[in-house]
Structure 1
Amino acid sequence: MMRKRSASTATYLGRTLEYDPNPYDIPVTCYLERPSGQRKKKLNQYLREERVGKGRHGEVYLSHDTLHEHRAVAIKVVKRSNPKDKIKLLRRNYQQTDGSTKQALNSTENSVRREVAVMKQCRHPNLAQLFEVIDDPREDKIYIIMEYIPGGPVEWTHGEDHLPLLTLAQTRRIMRDVIVGLEYMHAKGIVHRDIKPSNLVYTANRSCVKLIDFGISHIMLPPAPKKEKDDPVDPELRALFPVTDLTRRIGTPSFLAPEVVWFHDDSDNTSTVSPCDSPPGGSRSASSANVSTTFPIPKVRPPITPAIDVWSLGVTFFCLLFGHTPFNPSSDNDNVHHNEFMLYHLICTQDWLPDDYMGADRLWTGGRHPQDQSSEAYAVLHLLDEMLQKAPKDRIPLSQVKRNPFILQDVLDPKEWLRYTTPLAASPENLSGFIKSAARKFVNVLSPKTKGSGS
């Protein structure tokens, strides 16, 4: 029987986010057994096999759980620290005057603990699931046992040609899966912060896409009460997710929102920048409807909210449609820092421009602002426009993205699908039942043509 879960809420830009102080019961094992002769092969009940991935802080191995019918799992192996952590700690200790030797907040071990804390809050059919954490203090590594998702990341472009690989129907199905998973995270008060195609992974039969990699995700905790004893949030969790962490430029540069890459502009704030380079293999429209516009940089940084994920999802949507990112600074300069700054300048000030055609099915776009409101291109580009608004307050929320005609196309019963994919439709006490029923309903309310995300 599931225990009652009391939640706290916080409001950001008029949107209510829910923080649940009682995460799902994920076992944390404090011992590690490696039988002699199998030290590299067996970790407790898990048989480790080949490496299937490498992340920011560790390697991921395919393994099998001998206590659960040899089900396939993914084990992420992370070292507690690396040489950079030691430098950061020495610098911090030198700067401290109170004698404290606490680890720097961006140390490898704390990054792992943040990822685990986020995954403990999440249980959804479109999010990678956490099963167990092996954290033996005698070991120099932490082992995170997660759901194994064998279909591989979403492939979206033809290599050097930079042409779209996916049809519009495939893109629509992928977007639907990501939207409902991300909307669930936002309802729980969690910002993913690294939405991009490589973090979208197919299940075995490509019937579903799941969102992975919560390494830089952030739990937006409710404000601390005046009395510490009245705080429903664990003090260690507050230390892991300080509000100031949101202003850091972490993530994948091309997918960062304008408010994340914001910088103070000392000019008259009306400066212009050359349009983005034409993408390799891409075809920018030469029509007058595709004239680029520029935007001023705000004098004050806009607030960092879950809207940063909507921007990143919009960039991802653009990639799936056109086979390249929307902002591409000139590559003439070999200075990495200069190119990154130019990219940030484009993100903050430059409008995006579509190609002449979108999708592998080569649908004519009709320019930046297509005139035919009944066309599919109009619905797609209008949605992109709403997702890629420079000001976060003007950006469309996910609850409205999922109601866009393009997203709902091919859904047999849109009202039923919207009801069963809305995270707040079920009370926290019934969340487990909601997840099971939703997993079935996701398929049942789609027409037969849309039951596969990959083909």
Structure 2
Amino acid sequence: MSHRREPSVKETLDASITETNDGERSLNNYILKDEIGHGAYGTVSLAIDKETNTKYAIKEFSKSRLRKKDKANYFRRPPRGGMRGARGRGRGGAIFSNQSLNDPLYLIRSEIAVLKKLNHKNVVTLFEVLDDPENDSLYMVFEMCEKGVLMDVSINKKTTPFSDEKCRRYFREMVLGFEYLHENDIVHRDIKPDNLLLSSNDVLKIVDFGVSEIFTKGNDLMKKSAGSPAFMPPELCAADHGQISGKAADIWSMGVTLYCLAFGCLPFVKDNIIDLYDSINKDDLEIPNNNVDPKLVDLLYKILEKSPEKRITMPEIRVNPWLTNNGNEPLISTEENCSEMVTEITEDDLSSAIKTISVGGVFAVIGAVNKFKRLSRSSHSASESDLAKLKAIGDSENSV
């Protein structure tokens, strides 16, 4: 399988929004159309290039919201062992200066530098970064995934499951995409159908690297939680959980996503966030349909294994009988899948990721307190004692 050539990411530091009398808004050469998504830091809009008529997805970020995160001191520790290129130089790596550790812009540059380096068929492409120096917005221009999210499913919403053939097809693409990330020392940490989009030609694209982590080769241990509670592994659903394997956590979330595709619902569903965590930790996996390929059931049990040490690994998944259709449809080799490896992220990459944008907040981290507030709003039945327990989990994650 050949991957696309690495795109050249354009950096535009003098972006501006204009509006015509009939209300049409433009960002430089892009006509901004309907809003197609909304997140903690801003919105995602459909955009059309005036010159080529090509469709893009433009993600807009609010600098003031980022600054608020900064003021609340929602900082994470630097990635374990530093960024790529700092291997073998001790914890933290030589490229982390005291100034960069206290500079929220550094974290933003880091993520954009990573996005520039990713080059895989099943990972979304970043084309351009724009700054509007006179206003509150920073923009990132991504390839458009016209068919939208892989599946619309949540705690409160069931949907029509996919056929076995369709499940296998999309899960194979997930495996190739996340194997590529893991081989490049990147864990996603927020795998769910919402973050898996489909292109116009039905190719799965991994998106949203907002809470991803880069780790030193051979050491994917991390402590802080990230992602959506219903997709979190058991090892993150307890106070004082200590360090956990980022790769194993990603694999659990892949399993929850596969379960959604196969059955149109989540494997662990509770109204209360604390009960949900307890369910993920303690309840047995239930298969809601007796008419399921036993090999798929076996794979789900191996992926949704409570113990991360016993959980199936990526090399084992890629040769699984269900995924390979009893060996008749093997995946391409890991070597071929990861042939276009991420090059080392250097000091120059970080300094040039966004050259002059002045942003005072954190792009790559959603603070635990903010997450707890959001979760408590969505879990109306949570008691004060439940929320106190939840805060205890957060406190344990924030301790260094």
Q: Same fold (TM over 0.5)?
A: yes
Distance 1:157 1:31, change over 3 A: closer
Contact 2:256 2:304 in 1 (8 A): yes
2:68 maps to amino acid: K
Distance 1:387 1:102, change over 3 A: same
Aligned partner of 1:353 among 286, 301, 305: 286
**In structure 2, distance between residues paired with 1:153 and 1:92:** 29
Higher alpha-carbon Rg: 1
Distance 1:421 1:71, change over 3 A: farther
Equivalent in the alignment of 1:247:
223
Equivalent in the alignment of 1:408:
324
Matched, 1:220 2:215: yes
Q: What are the superposed Cα offsets for residues 131-190 of structure 1, whole Å, 9 maximum, x if unpaired?
A: 010124443210101001101112366997836431111111111111111111111111
Q: What are the superposed Cα offsets for residues 185-235 of structure 1, whole Å, 9 maximum, x if unpaired?
A: 1111111111111222122142x22111111111114699xxxxxxxxxxx
Equivalent in the alignment of 1:268:
none
**In structure 1, distance between residues paired with 2:314 and 2:193:** 18
Equivalent in the alignment of 1:28:
11
Matched, 1:201 2:214: no
Equivalent in the alignment of 1:185:
181
Matched, 1:399 2:395: no
**In structure 2, distance between residues paired with 1:111 and 1:397:** 30
Write out aligned runs for 1:27-46 (5 A). 27-34=10-17, 37=20, 41-46=25-30
**In structure 2, distance between residues paired with 1:157 and 1:380:** 20
2:168 maps to amino acid: R
Distance 1:37 1:158, change over 3 A: closer
Contact 1:201 1:210 in 2 (8 A): yes
**In structure 2, distance between residues paired with 1:247 and 1:40:** 46
User: Offset of 1:427 from its aligned partner?
Assistant: 6.7
Equivalent in the alignment of 1:301:
242
Q: Normalized against structure 1, the TM-score is what?
A: 0.61
**In structure 2, distance between residues paired with 1:426 and 1:118:** 14
Equivalent in the alignment of 1:153:
149
Contact 2:321 2:327 in 1 (8 A): no
Distance 1:24 1:203, change over 3 A: closer
Q: What are the superposed Cα offsets for residues 321-343 of structure 1, whole Å, 9 maximum, x if unpaired?
A: 122211223x3xxxxxxx22222
Instruction: Say which SS state the counterpart of residue 306 (structure 1) adopts.
Output: helix
Distance 1:134 1:428, change over 3 A: closer
**In structure 2, distance between residues paired with 1:340 and 1:353:** 20
1:262 maps to amino acid: A
Equivalent in the alignment of 1:210:
205
Matched, 1:315 2:256: yes
**In structure 2, distance between residues paired with 1:347 and 1:427:** 35
Equivalent in the alignment of 1:387:
303
In structure 2, stretches of 5+ residues that fail to align are 1-5, 76-97, 344-400
Distance 1:156 1:408, change over 3 A: farther
1:216 maps to amino acid: V
Which moved further from structure 2: 34-43 or 319-328? 34-43
Equivalent in the alignment of 2:41:
57
Which moved further from structure 2: 345-354 or 37-46? 37-46
Instruction: Say which SS state the counterpart of residue 236 (structure 2) adopts.
Output: coil
Q: Normalized against structure 2, the TM-score is what?
A: 0.68
Contact 2:16 2:28 in 1 (8 A): yes
Distance 1:411 1:118, change over 3 A: farther
**In structure 1, distance between residues paired with 2:154 and 2:213:** 33
Matched, 1:89 2:30: no
Distance 1:156 1:55, change over 3 A: closer
**In structure 2, distance between residues paired with 1:218 and 1:392:** 18
**In structure 1, distance between residues paired with 2:215 and 2:155:** 37
**In structure 1, distance between residues paired with 2:50 and 2:280:** 49
Instruction: Say which SS state the counterpart of residue 162 (structure 2) adopts.
Output: coil
Equivalent in the alignment of 1:328:
269
**In structure 1, distance between residues paired with 2:332 and 2:73:** 51
Equivalent in the alignment of 2:93:
none
Q: What are the superposed Cα offsets for residues 403-442 of structure 1, whole Å, 9 maximum, x if unpaired?
A: 111111298652xx4237843456779xxxxxxxxxxxxx
In structure 1, stretches of 5+ residues that fail to align are 1-22, 94-99, 225-242, 265-299, 332-338, 358-362, 365-375, 430-455
**In structure 1, distance between residues paired with 2:7 and 2:14:** 21
**In structure 2, distance between residues paired with 1:44 and 1:257:** 43
Q: What are the superposed Cα offsets for residues 326-363 of structure 1, whole Å, 9 maximum, x if unpaired?
A: 1223x3xxxxxxx2222222222332121133xxxxx2
Q: What are the superposed Cα offsets for residues 76-110 of structure 1, whole Å, 9 maximum, x if unpaired?
A: 1111122x8437516689xxxxxx999988x7x77
Distance 1:252 1:411, change over 3 A: same
Aligned partner of 1:170 among 166, 169, 180: 166
Q: What are the superposed Cα offsets for residues 13-32 of structure 1, whole Å, 9 maximum, x if unpaired?
A: xxxxxxxxxx9752222111
